[in-house]
Structures are given as structure tokens and as C-alpha cells.
Structure 1
Amino acid sequence: MNSSDKFRMRTETQEGRCTVYISGELDLEVASQMRSVMEPLVELCDRILTLNLQELRYIDSTGIGILISVLKARHARNGSFTVEAVPAHIKKLFDMTGITPFLNQGGPSAAKPI
């Protein structure tokens, strides 16, 4: 199985919002692909940047590190960043690593700065 079979990203831009749909496995093998998509989106501070994780099956520490990098970069630019449709097994991992409070999970309250 090559990386394109196990990991996919799709970006959808609407008025005031950019949503990135991630599916498969986000790990070290596909980290550069994830970063190359996310880096230009971090700069779009006039839009809400949302990651939809509904079809994410697995994330490792490298993937979590990318999420934290995006969160920090958006916070530094006063840009909005949310995560939505987090599968239960991924949410459990976010809880165990302590990043859940820093992710605005589609709710009205802002996430804490990291």
C-alpha cells in the first residue's frame, strides 16, 4: 500500500471558510504531504480553517505535531482554527496527549492558546 492509498486530503473553500477533509492514516510517511497542503492555508487568516477528521483512521505523534504547529501558527496570526467530526478513538488520543483543550471542536467558544 503506498501513501496515496492510505492517506488523502481534500480542500473545500466556501465563503469565509476553508475545510480540509483528511482520511486514512496521518503519520510520518505522509507528514510532508500534509505540511505542503496546510502551510499556505495557515496564511488565509480571513477565513476559518477547519480540519474535518471524520475519515481519519490513525494519527501518530508526527500528525499531532502538525496539528499543534497549525494551531500555533493560526493563533499567532489571530486566525480561527477548528477541528470537527473527530472519531472517538482519535479524540481519546487527543485527550491522552492533553491537546483537546487547545482544539476548538466546532463549538462557539474559542480554543485556548497553546
Structure 2
Amino acid sequence: MNISIDVQERDHQTTITLAGEIDAYTAPKLREAAFPYTEKQHANVVIDLSGVTYMDSTGLGVFVGLFKSLNANEGTLELNGLSDRLKRLFDITGLADIMNINPKAEGGI
């Protein structure tokens, strides 16, 4: 179980490109890499999930935490490139109703 995390900052936007699996083993790595960007005032974070092949509830918890941190700091979170399976996971949990999700949008800057 591996995850690849690539972070790029440009023009007041942080783009985080993920590949692999987000589970109990890799979620702490994602949290550690992403949270510093959510704590900045008015941060704009875009996460490209097009390379993610699997995510469990631990991964969902990371995204809830990122979302809450950004909201507290008046920032925004956009999730791009969700597979049908990941989009369904966000739909079932109700997170798709509160998060900005573009299932087929291409990530990157």
C-alpha cells in the first residue's frame, strides 16, 4: 500500500496530486503533507485524485479534516478527477453535498 503525493504552489493556489491508495496506512502521510497548506488564511487547495485507486473511511476522515481546516481559515477546497467509485463514496457519505467536487475535471495547474 503506497501513496504518491506531489505538491505544487502557484499564484495563491496549492495543487496536491495524489496517486495510489488512501487507507489507514497512508492517510497519516497525506494528512502530514496537506494540512500545513490548509492552515493559511484564504488558502485555495485543489486536490487531484485521478491517480487514486482506493480510499477507505480513514481517507475520508482526512478530507473532512482538510475541509474543516480550510473553512476555519476562510479557504477553499476543490477535489478533482474522482473515479466513479470515489465519487460514489463521497455521495453516499453526504460529503459531495458540502464539498466542491469535480469528478472528471483534470487536476494540475
With structure 1 as the length reference, what TM-score do the two structures score? Answer: 0.83
Shift of 1:68: 0.3
Count of paired positions: 102
Matches within 5 A, 1:1-114: 3=1, 6-105=2-101
Q: Which has the higher strand share?
A: 2
The residue matched to 1:105 in structure 2 has which SS? strand
Q: Comparing 26-35 with 38-47, which one deviates more in the overlay?
A: 38-47
Higher-helix-fraction structure: 1
**Aligned 8 A contact 2:37 2:43 in 1:** no
Kindly indicate whether structure 1 or structure 2 has the higher relative contact order, using CA contacts under 8 Å at least 6 residues apart. 2
Distance 1:28 1:77, change over 3 A: same
Percent identity of paired positions between Structure 1 and Structure 2: 25
CA contact (8 A) 1:45 1:80 kept: no
Q: Which 4+ runs in 1 deviate beyond 3 A?
A: none
Q: Which amino acid aligns with 1:22?
A: L
Give 1 or 2 for the bigger CA radius of gyration.
1
Q: CA deviation at 1:96?
A: 1.1
Taking only aligned residues, the RMSD between alpha carbons, in angstroms, comes to: 1.3
Q: Distance in 2 between matches of 1:13 and 1:30?
A: 22
TM-score (norm 2): 0.87
Structure 2, unmatched stretches of 5+, are 103-109
Which residue does 2:105 correspond to in 1? Answer: none
CA contact (8 A) 1:53 1:84 kept: yes
